A and B are shown apart, each in its own frame.
Chain A
Amino acid sequence: KAGVTQTPRYLIKTRGQQVTLSCSPISGHRSVSWYQQTPGQGLQFLFEYFSETQRNKGNFPGRFSGRQFSNSRSEMNVSTLELGDSALYLCASSLISIQRGHNEQFFGPGTRLTVL
């Protein structure tokens, strides 16, 4: 089985721009979660989508949004980029929602976003 894929792998943007990141989960997985990883804050949960519905959301401003399509692929969008948004954005998939079970999550390689 192919693993979780994320595109693009690297991205450079300037302040004020917006960006869309894409994630394709492992085939059959219906839950997709997004995390932000920075040296200062570590791994922080952004949100989880399951069956095209947002099931949970972390403590991030409304500039961070996401969606999930019927094929379970997910996108996250960050509008009005700030310098502090520079981070590694990780996508993780699992068979069922992390709200309902204890399945492990499988992570993609991440998208490295740099905001100048």
Chain B
Amino acid sequence: AQSVAQPEDQVNVAEGNPLTVKCTYSVSGNPYLFWYVQYPNRGLQFLLKYITGDNLVKGSYGFEAEFNKSQTSFHLKKPSALVSDSALYFCAVRGPDRRSTLGRLYFGRGTQLTVWP
């Protein structure tokens, strides 16, 4: 079965410090991985994705994520956090099998990031 785990419900970090939001996944074969962000009363916004290639993926708003196959992780990172980064972050995975009827995105439970001034 395909699944995503975000082990931290909440992450707090001071503005200007680096941030990491953790994500681990479970899929058969090579995964497609995504990060989305949700601001209050808004839908989800796409940040970045990993399909294949370089393990370090760069995305919107200065975010990046590191794919680690051996640890089945896809952690979201940013070198210097901003107060405006405070939001709910979701990791998602999609399995690779095009023939599968399970071709859907599986989302983690979300991690609330709070950046304090």
B: interface residue count bin = 20 to 34
The 8 Å CB contact of A109, one of B32, B43, B98, is: B43
Interface residue A99 (Cβ < 8 Å from any Cβ of B): yes
Within 8 A of A (CB), among B80-116: 90, 94, 98, 100-110
CA distance A99 to B32 in the complex (A): 12
Interface 9-residue window, one of A13-21, A42-50, A75-83:
A42-50
Interface residue A25 (Cβ < 8 Å from any Cβ of B): no
A: interface residue count bin = 20 to 34
**Is B103 in contact with A99, judged by CB distance below 8 angstroms?**
yes
* CB 8 Å contact bits of A33-58 with B (1 = contact, 0 = none): 10100000011010010000001101
Residues of chain A touching chain B, judged by Cβ–Cβ distance below 8 Å, are 4, 33, 35, 42-43, 45, 48, 55-56, 58, 90, 92, 97-102, 104-110
Residues of chain B touching chain A, judged by Cβ–Cβ distance below 8 Å, are 32, 34, 36, 41-46, 49, 51, 90, 94, 98, 100-110
The 10 closest A-B pairs by CB, nearest first: A99-B103, A107-B43, A43-B107, A102-B32, A107-B44, A104-B46, A42-B109, A109-B43, A45-B104, A108-B43
